[in-house]
Amino acid sequence: MSRVLLGYWRSSSSWRVRIALNWKALSYETVP
């Protein structure tokens, strides 16, 4: 299953999701 993170670089919520994904070592693709 591929994860796609839709986010804006100034969004604090997408930043928190990115931190959680990296902490759990889950792969994802970022789409601006």
| Residue 9 pLDDT class (50, 70, 90 cuts) | confident
**Do 1 and 28 touch, CB atoms closer than 8 A?**
no
* Count of helices and strands (H, E) across the chain: 1, 2
Task: State the chain's mean pLDDT as an integer.
Answer: 94
Q: Check: pTM over 0.85? Answer yes or no.
A: no
Bridge partners of 30, per DSSP, are 5
> Which pLDDT score is estimated for 10?
92
Structure tokens at 31: 């789409």
At residue 6 the predicted structure's pLDDT band, cuts being 50, 70 and 90, is: very high
